[in-house]
């Protein structure tokens, strides 16, 4: 952006009452980080960037080469509703200071490259619509040490049980059983204030305060931005209500898990390339190749779409969660579901039901797209049904064996995957070496 336009934007922000600029960016694992500068420095930051220490972020840089620059994407402007002083917020991309080129481990830049690669190869766009599932807790506590380990989650006062919700009976329940409709309304209102559009919200199946908010279809990069910011908004607003929001895939035993279902299609805002008027179920060949590509690479994708140790406590039999690489019409237990109630067949979409919100959305959406493109380019067919990984270490090993599809177009790099595997292996080992409370039930008296 030219200096004159930057100056004009600064004047507009000052006239709007902005006193600060907040720069938000994602780490390799998808956690949100930020740095705040006074409005007077906006022109300098927009033109020259602002320095940050990449060595303090897991998987980014070594201490000896930790310097990096953050440049705000001025098209992502919104006024942050959680700052006392009026603050204009921007999402940032990460650059290397010596070359001023995009940092190869910057996940937002990876998503941008994936979009450009799709346009180059297939002359089209990718659109995604995320379903954000999560639990609301009134109280939560957890702690561990050499001789103790516990967590306690509470949704609702157990003494006030006049309107209980039966186990797995929370889907679309009405008031007074649904105690959180006002909270969800506030979430949707705040999303709108931040220019994130919502399709609807409702209680989910879990009886202990499980909710869902579904956003609208947007291009891939915008969808990843929306997921990234929505998690921030949900967590901040929940604290104002004196509550806690968790996107953990399986925070409660024997209750439904929370996924990040991703509806998607290739095409434009007016038409989907997944539609064919004369094919079976109106599915085009491109759609079937795309589905086959995703399913073919799903075991490896799990390392990026389901990267937490907790993820695999959700992908188990007995719940509405996939356990195999399969697809069907209307079946909510399959990896890919073809919505049966779709009225406008020309906007044909598919729903990928494996991912969860512990994923970095920039990496997850990019990897899914590349798997689909690989299926289209190689004309894959759904020829076998494989079991999904049962733990994150198994998913990591699947990624080690199947990752070439991520290298097409130079989108992912071997260096990035090595860093990702290192971080996720360490997380797995940190959990694996600790005693589990249930082990005492099984073995303490042996």
Question: And the tokens for 9?
Answer: 């934007």
Give me the pLDDT at residue 63, please.
Answer: 37
What pLDDT is stored for residue 59 in this prediction? 66
Q: Are 109 and 94 in contact (CB under 8 A)?
A: yes
pLDDT, position 1: 52
User: Where does CATH 3.30.590.10 sit in the chain?
Assistant: 112-443
This prediction has a pTM of 0.95
* Tokens coding 54: 């990449």
Q: How confident is the prediction along the chain (446 residues), in pLDDT tens digits per residue?
A: 566 689 899 999 999 999 999 999 999 999 999 999 999 999 999 999 998 887 777 667 553 356 889 999 999 999 999 999 999 999 999 998 888 888 888 999 999 999 999 999 999 999 999 999 999 999 888 898 888 888 898 886 555 556 788 888 888 998 888 889 999 999 999 999 999 999 999 999 888 899 999 999 999 999 999 999 999 999 999 999 999 999 999 999 999 999 999 999 999 999 999 999 999 889 999 999 999 999 999 999 999 999 999 999 999 999 989 999 999 987 888 999 998 777 788 899 999 999 999 999 999 999 999 999 999 999 999 888 999 999 999 999 999 999 999 999 999 999 999 999 999 999 999 999 999 989 899 998 98
The first and second tokens of residue 53, run together, are 């220490």
- 15 burial level (CB within 10 Å; 0-12, 13-18, 19+): exposed
Q: Point out which residues pair with 133 in neighbouring strands.
A: 212
Task: Write the DSSP string, 404-446.
Answer: HHHHGGG-S-HHHHHHHHHHHHHHHHHHHTSPPHHHHHHHTT-
Q: What is the assigned CATH class of domain 9-103? A: alpha beta
CATH 3.30.590.10 matches 112-443: yes
Q: What is the pLDDT of residue 65?
A: 56
Cα–Cα dist 301/292, whole Å:
13
Q: What is the dihedral of CA 400, 130, 339, 113, to 10 degrees?
A: -50
User: What stretch(es) of the chain map to CATH 3.10.20.70?
Assistant: 9-103
Which of the residues are catalytic?
Answer: 53, 131, 133, 204, 212, 261, 332, 351, 353
């Amino acid at each position: 952006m030219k200096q004159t336009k930057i100056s004009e934007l600064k004047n507009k922000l000052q006239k709007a009452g902005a006193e600060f600029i907040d720069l938000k960016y994602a780490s390799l694992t998808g956690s949100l980080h930020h740095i705040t500068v006074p409005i007077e420095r906006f022109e300098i930051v927009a033109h020259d960037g602002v320095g940050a220490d990449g060595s303090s972020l897991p998987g980014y840089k070594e201490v000896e080469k930790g310097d990096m620059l953050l440049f705000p994407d001025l098209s992502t402007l919104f006024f942050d509703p959680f700052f006392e002083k009026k603050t204009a917020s921007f999402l940032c991309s990460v650059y290397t200071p010596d070359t001023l080129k995009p940092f190869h481990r910057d996940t937002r830049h990876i998503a941008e490259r994936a979009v450009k690669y799709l346009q180059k190869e297939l002359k089209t766009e990718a659109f995604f619509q995320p379903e954000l599932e999560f639990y609301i807790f009134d109280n939560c506590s957890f702690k561990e040490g050499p001789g103790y380990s516990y967590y306690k989650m509470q949704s609702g006062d157990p003494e006030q049980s006049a309107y209980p919700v039966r186990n797995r009976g929370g889907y679309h329940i009405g008031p007074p059983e649904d105690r959180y409709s006002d909270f969800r309304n506030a979430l949707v209102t705040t999303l709108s204030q931040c220019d994130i559009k919502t399709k609807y919200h409702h209680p989910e199946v879990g009886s202990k305060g499980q909710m869902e908010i579904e956003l609208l279809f947007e291009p891939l990069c915008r969808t990843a931005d929306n997921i990234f910011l929505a998690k921030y908004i949900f967590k901040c607003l929940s604290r104002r209500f004196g509550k806690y929001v968790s996107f953990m895939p399986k925070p409660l035993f024997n209750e439904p898990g929370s996924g990040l279902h991703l509806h998607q299609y290739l095409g434009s805002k007016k038409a989907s390339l997944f539609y064919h008027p004369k094919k079976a179920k109106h599915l085009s060949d491109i759609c079937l190749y795309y589905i086959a590509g995703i399913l073919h690479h799903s075991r490896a994708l799990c390392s990026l779409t389901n990267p937490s140790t907790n993820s695999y406590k959700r992908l188990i039999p007995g719940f509405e969660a996939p356990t195999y690489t399969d697809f069907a019409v209307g079946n909510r237990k399959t990896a890919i579901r073809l919505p049966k109630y779709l009225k406008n067949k020309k906007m044909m979409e598919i729903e990928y039901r494996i991912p969860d919100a512990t994923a970095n959305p920039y990496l997850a959406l990019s990897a899914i797209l590349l798997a689909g493109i690989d299926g289209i380019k190689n004309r894959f067919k759904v020829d076998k049904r494989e079991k999904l990984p049962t733990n994150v270490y198994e998913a990591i090993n699947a990624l080690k064996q199947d990752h070439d599809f991520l290298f097409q177009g130079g989108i992912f790099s071997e260096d990035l995957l090595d860093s990702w595997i290192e971080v996720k292996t360490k997380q797995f080992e940190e959990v694996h070496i600790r005693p589990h409370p249930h082990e005492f039930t099984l073995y303490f008296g042996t």
